[in-house]
Structure 1
Amino acid sequence: MLVIKVRKSYFVVLFYEFCVEALRWHLISTSKQNLDAMKKQILFIQGAGTGSYRMDKKLADNLQHLLGTSYVVHYPEMHNEEDADYETWARQIVDLLKAQDGSIFLVGHSVGGSVLMKFLTEKDYKKSVAGVFIIAAPFWGGDKGWKYDGYETLALPTTTLKIADDVPVFFYHSRDDETVPFEHLELYGNSFSNASIRKIDSGGHQLNSDLSVVANDLKKL
């Protein structure tokens, strides 16, 4: 009988210790979530093409490093990067925005930037956007934009563009970009007259994985 009681006491102690540890980890997790919710939220949309998620992660990581702990950069892997489909990415962006509380900054690189601009001018996203930052994005259609097969799905609407006037928009492009012509920056500037245009002297399509100019603009908002 004594042995049974000792065993019961031993298991009670183990169960108690397990509950205490589980509660501790729950409190830590909840505290971290609450702290993250208090930080400024950024959604970074990658470019398209094989390996783009891996390459653009350097940009997202650099932006997080430059902004510090007061910001959280969310960098999701977009579906089917090898053959990006606008509607598929737009639906994913809707889901990503729904998952975030409060206002959010949007950053897009290359085709990710094109998708974001089309999304913001067409979709009823019902989300408070604190700022939009578009890096090395191709301009689709028009007289001087890209017109590859299927470009119409990424082209901006020909009707009035609907980004709210109180949402700051920034475009960035390097003069030595060998992937997307530097001239596309001007095309976006012509379409969004209130946007801020940042001409960068060097850095290529990936801006040498240095988003200092983006971080500086973002911190001012």
Structure 2
Amino acid sequence: MKNPVLFIHGGGEGAYEADRPLAASLQGALGVEYDVRYPAMPNERNPTYAAWKDAIARELAAFERKAALVGHSFGASLVLKYAAEEPLDGRASGLFLIAAPFWRVEDWDVPEFALADDFAAKLPAELRLFFYHSRDDETVPFTHLAHYREALPSATFRELDARGHQLEGNLAEVAADVLLVR
């Protein structure tokens, strides 16, 4: 049986197609022992947390083993929110969050997507957390990573150079961490 990975794409028009190379890169780097599921999330152009939460729950319920949860951009922020608000019941081996926006800062203050003040305390203690962000990301400012670092000092943070918002389509660092947590 293959090791499951759930990849949640970003939001906005065309995000599913834009993130397809990331999911393919992850699958290629992980190899045949892993199965990267890449579902199209509902209404990517105008997403709601409720709809994406339900979709994530359905996807997780379909796995027979612990899954690595990978999210990109908007998807990363919702994967983290889901893990902080919904019972994972040991169904996740780790969270791998790429270019995650922090929804409580100037110009990004969206209450529907924001994490609760005590979100860090609500995450399962055994859950490994990894964040990846390129310093030259023009979509989600690199400064958002500092907010996560402050709230989650025990998480692993990978600061990348000259990779942009899409990490140049290369998720080798993410794959290495997924293999580490296996």
Equivalent-residue separation in structure 2 for 1:160 and 1:134 (angstroms): 15
For this pair of structures, how many residues does the alignment match? Answer: 180
| TM-score normalised by L of structure 1 | 0.79
Unpaired runs of at least 5, structure 2: none
User: In the alignment, is the contact (CA less than 8 A) between 2:3 and 2:65 conserved in 1?
Assistant: no
Q: CA 1:180–1:59 in structure 2 vs 1: closer, same or farther (change >3 Å)?
A: same
Equivalent-residue separation in structure 2 for 1:157 and 1:58 (angstroms): 32
User: In the alignment, is the contact (CA less than 8 A) between 1:46 and 1:108 conserved in 2?
Assistant: yes
The percentage of aligned residue pairs carrying the same residue is 42
Deviation at 1:101, TM superposition (A): 0.7
Counterpart selection for 2:145 from 185, 201, 204 = 185
Which residue number corresponds to residue 91 of structure 2? 128
Q: CA 1:220–1:122 in structure 2 vs 1: closer, same or farther (change >3 Å)?
A: same
Equivalent-residue separation in structure 2 for 1:167 and 1:218 (angstroms): 12
Which residue number corresponds to residue 38 of structure 2? 75
Q: Deviations over 1:138-161 (max 9, x none)?
A: 10115x5722xxx00100011253
Equivalent-residue separation in structure 1 for 2:119 and 2:76 (angstroms): 19
Equivalent-residue separation in structure 2 for 1:58 and 1:122 (angstroms): 29
Which residue number corresponds to residue 153 of structure 1? 112
SS at match of 1:81: coil
Equivalent-residue separation in structure 2 for 1:145 and 1:171 (angstroms): 21
Equivalent-residue separation in structure 2 for 1:145 and 1:169 (angstroms): 25
> Greater relative contact order (Cα 8 A, min sep 6): structure 1 or 2?
2
Tell me which amino acid in the other structure corresponds to 1:69: V
Query: Which structure 1 residue ranges, 4+ long, deviate > 4 Å from structure 2?
Result: none
SS at match of 2:111: helix
Report the structure, 1 or 2, having the larger helix content.
Answer: 1
Which residue number corresponds to residue 135 of structure 2? 175
Unpaired runs of at least 5, structure 1: 1-37
Root-mean-square deviation (CA), in Å? 1.2
Q: Deviations over 1:51-84 (max 9, x none)?
A: 1000101000010001100100000000000011
Counterpart selection for 1:95 from 48, 55, 58 = 58
Equivalent-residue separation in structure 1 for 2:36 and 2:119 (angstroms): 31
Tell me which amino acid in the other structure corresponds to 1:176: D
Q: Deviations over 1:5-49 (max 9, x none)?
A: xxxxxxxxxxxxxxxxxxxxxxxxxxxxxxxxx111000000000
Equivalent-residue separation in structure 2 for 1:132 and 1:101 (angstroms): 18
SS at match of 2:36: strand
